[in-house]
Structure 1
Amino acid sequence: MIIELRADQPRPAANPQKEMLVPDADELVAEALAAVRGTDVRQAERQLDRLMVGTGAADGAAEVDAALLRRLVRGVGRLWPRGWQPVDLDRIATRRLGARPTRLVRDAMAAQRRDQSGPVPAWWDEQLRELAAEALHDDRSVLAGWSAREGLDRVDALRTAVDTLVLVESLPPIAVLRPPPGTSGAATADQPARGRSGSPMLDRVRALLAKAESTTFPAEAEALTGKAQELIARHSIDEALLAAGAERTDLPGGVRLGTDAPYAGAKALLVQEVAAANRCEAVWSDDLGFATVLGWPADLVAVELLYTSLLVQATAAMLRGRAERRPGAGRRTKVWDESFLNAFALRIGERLRAATEAADREAAETAGPEKLLPVLAARGEAVQERLTTLFPGVTRHRLSVRDAEGWSSGTSAADRASLDLGGGRPPKQVRGRPTRAD
């Protein structure tokens, strides 16, 4: 066999362009996200290390920061048509990640708002202002500016940013309560009914509830709360009669109220009871940490104001009740607390409903039942229809009592005042996660 050696045919040279390829910042971010979502911890750390190295270019770190922000802003923008509002996203970021990542979410929401096309309702911008979400002019400096304010080194900043992205991109659709930015109805969407309007009646209610929260006398607190409910009920009737005189094309609205741990179920029950006393319906999403309340604007104001105040009052009463427990009964404090709060919510609900029923009777005597009752019935039916439309698969969650002493103490704490508001009807029970609670 003859083998011919030829030196005049050199091997092909390597492609210089191929050797010079550098990783793309968007690809680095995508690979880091995929790894963090997986179960291989070492792979996740390797991908985070690659983010640290960056693209290898002179401004590689800035390119990675810009890619992270672009994807975060894009993820935030995709949540708005899926029912999320700025306050909802802020709440769940705080609940699941903590304060530092939440402040990054706020920066991303502000950047997304700056680039938002189409109409943006006024209430949307109000929420962003309340969250202090302010947009910077240079997207490339957002992540760096946030990490500097938080005192984070680059490793922790990148890890936190990736975890924040994972949360934002994993959130499920929720009920769309108002037209989001960029939609046809956003330009004419009403300002949400929140407890900060300049209504003289609401100012009186806020003053009463502030006194109820500050007093150390339970009977006085409950009397003040009962008086606030009377004012709210009368205002609701006035609003209903006024609306009955004009043709309306709008639907009942909604608000979401936080029900975070501890004792999330008891907080959801309190929302339910306050909502029922004010002609609203409530559905609890326990996995997301909030309850959605549906109703007409004036009634939603009432629910939000009363729930916020009663939660403060119930917590204070619970702490006082702990101090009054008999010696040696502290082994099951958590179970006792939960039973106390459940009983408090149910009894307070009865009293609030009694105040509403008393206001209804008084208004019916003045305006005539043939005028008032059909109006209230029609508004109630509209709220029920809205509930069925937004939550077609809602189920019921049954309340359980695990500490008789806590239950008795909670009922007594809600029963100490003599409000002279008449008797209440049997309480409804809290609606639960994919369903209405019974």
Structure 2
Amino acid sequence: MSSSGPSTVDRAFQTALYDGTDSGLDTGASLLAADSGADAELARRGREFVAAAWRRGWQPADVVRLVRRELDDPHVRLAAGLIGAQRADDRPRGPRWRAQLEALPEGRARVGDRFSHATAVLELYRLLLRLPSLEPLDEHGPRAGAHRPESRMLTRIRALLAKAEATGYPEEAEALSAKAQELMARHSVDEALLAAAAPAPDAPGACRIGVEPPYEQAKAVLLDAVATANHCRAVWNEPLAFSTVVGFEADLEAVELLYTSLLVQATHAMTKAEAAQRAGGRKRTKTFRQSFLAAYAHRVGDRLAAAARAAVTGTQEVEDLLPVLATRETAVTDRLERLFPETTTTRLRGVTDEAGWTEGTRAADRAQVHSRSPLP
């Protein structure tokens, strides 16, 4: 005998997702825990929440980043499992999307006993239900037929930056980072010249890069500096802890690589500077760290801009390159303005510690970038 009333999942959602209270969550979890026959529908509804997130402009890495920030590790594993399960029902998407799926943490179908699992699932669904709409990004990457396997140059850059992050010697990290930036600048120039010779160059794309607390303002400034130096533009979304970077594919790859590496190196340098300050009897604070990272971002931005200019002026094909770069810059700006017709600027807060600023500037000087040699 069938019932025409609401299902267990519907009743659990009504109390847990739309009520929003802890008591409602407990009631919903109890309903689900008592009815094992609701499991399949609960999983199906989760896949629907994931598909709705994609329609709102979210991507797999965005969802995982937010779940990790707002909830706990079991929820991250549940989200990864849901995203993986929804993949079978999803339409084909581009290489950047596939890379995000491949980078998902290990998923898990169940957490603890039935009540604990139902509680975690409902907490995750609450978050997914309330996701705001984001600017839709191009999911397909380079135009059909234009995508090429990762170049040997990018492979070398990744290896250099990995060594720079791992070494305990500042001088070695400096040399490795400088060489990586030289290769990045050359790679960008080569890609621009190649696009100029192609009959139908790619349009600029976009990606989101996490800018996580603490000291997210200074980190956003650092990412903006890296993006600008690599012919991209960045827009920071503070509430959701990411920046959207707009640019051509090879430049986007360079921005992701270099920002991640410089952030790791800045954190190492800041930890070392704090230890030296404590050894001298001076207590360091949050203001010291904020000022350190702000100065680091400012100084590194100057160095990267100088390297980018040198990469162009040192090119034998400079007369051919300048109009190409101008055309690409216009295309990037147009794409940015379509995605974000309204933006605002913000001022860094908490940058008042002179010692932090001095130490951050010194650290950026140690991570300085140099101009590359002219192209042969």
TM-score relative to the length of structure 1: 0.78
* Contact 1:335 1:403 survives alignment (8 Å): yes
Report the CA distance between 1:21 and its aligned residue: 7.5
Report the CA distance between 1:309 and its aligned residue: 0.8
Which digits, 9 at most, give the CA deviation of each residue in 1:219-266, with x for residues without a partner? 332232122111111111111111112233642111211111222222
* Contact 2:25 2:119 survives alignment (8 Å): no
Does residue 30 of the first structure (1) align with residue 13 of the second (2)? yes
Alignment match, 1:125: 98
Q: Distance in 2 between matches of 1:249 and 1:389?
A: 19
Match of 2:37 among 57, 62, 74: 62
Report the CA distance between 1:418 and its aligned residue: 7.1
Which digits, 9 at most, give the CA deviation of each residue in 1:56-108, with x for residues without a partner? xxxx3232x22221221111101112221111111111111122111111121
Q: Distance in 2 between matches of 1:209 and 1:108?
A: 33
Gaps of 5+ in 2: none
Gaps of 5+ in 1: 1-16, 54-59, 135-144, 423-438
Match of 1:355 among 274, 287, 307: 307
Report the CA distance between 1:30 and its aligned residue: 2.4
Further displaced range: 241-250 or 379-388:
241-250
Does residue 76 of the first structure (1) align with residue 76 of the second (2)? no
Report the CA distance between 1:384 and its aligned residue: 0.6
Does residue 379 of the first structure (1) align with residue 328 of the second (2)? yes
Match of 2:277 among 325, 329, 349: 325
Letter in 2 for 1:329: R
Alignment match, 1:174: 134
Report the CA distance between 1:200 and its aligned residue: 1.4
Q: Structure 1 residues 250, 198: CA separation in 2 closer, same or farther (over 3 Å shift)?
A: closer
Does residue 412 of the first structure (1) align with residue 372 of the second (2)? no
Q: Distance in 2 between matches of 1:344 and 1:263?
A: 12
* Contact 1:344 1:410 survives alignment (8 Å): yes
Counting only pairs closer than 5 Å after superposition, residues 44-123 of structure 1 correspond to structure 2 as: 44-53=25-34, 60-63=35-38, 65-116=39-90, 118-123=91-96
Q: Distance in 1 between matches of 2:298 and 2:314?
A: 25
SS in 1 for 2:343: coil
Q: Distance in 1 between matches of 2:145 and 2:31?
A: 45
Q: Distance in 2 between matches of 1:304 and 1:347?
A: 19
Letter in 1 for 2:133: P
Alignment match, 1:268: 220
Letter in 2 for 1:225: S
Larger Rg: 1
Report the CA distance between 1:203 and its aligned residue: 2.1
Alignment match, 1:139: none
SS in 2 for 1:279: coil
SS in 2 for 1:173: coil
Letter in 2 for 1:396: T
Alignment match, 1:8: none
Does residue 146 of the first structure (1) align with residue 98 of the second (2)? no
The aligned length equals 370
Find runs of 4+ consecutive structure 1 residues off by over 4 angstroms: 20-23, 185-191, 417-422
Q: Distance in 2 between matches of 1:279 and 1:119?
A: 29
Alignment match, 1:427: none
Match of 1:345 among 275, 297, 303: 297
Please give the root-mean-square deviation of Cα atoms over the aligned residues, in Å: 2.7
Report the CA distance between 1:187 and its aligned residue: 10
Counting only pairs closer than 5 Å after superposition, residues 251-262 of structure 1 correspond to structure 2 as: 251-262=203-214
* Contact 1:252 1:295 survives alignment (8 Å): yes
Q: Distance in 1 between matches of 2:359 and 2:318?
A: 41
Letter in 2 for 1:158: A
Q: Distance in 1 between matches of 2:134 and 2:145?
A: 19
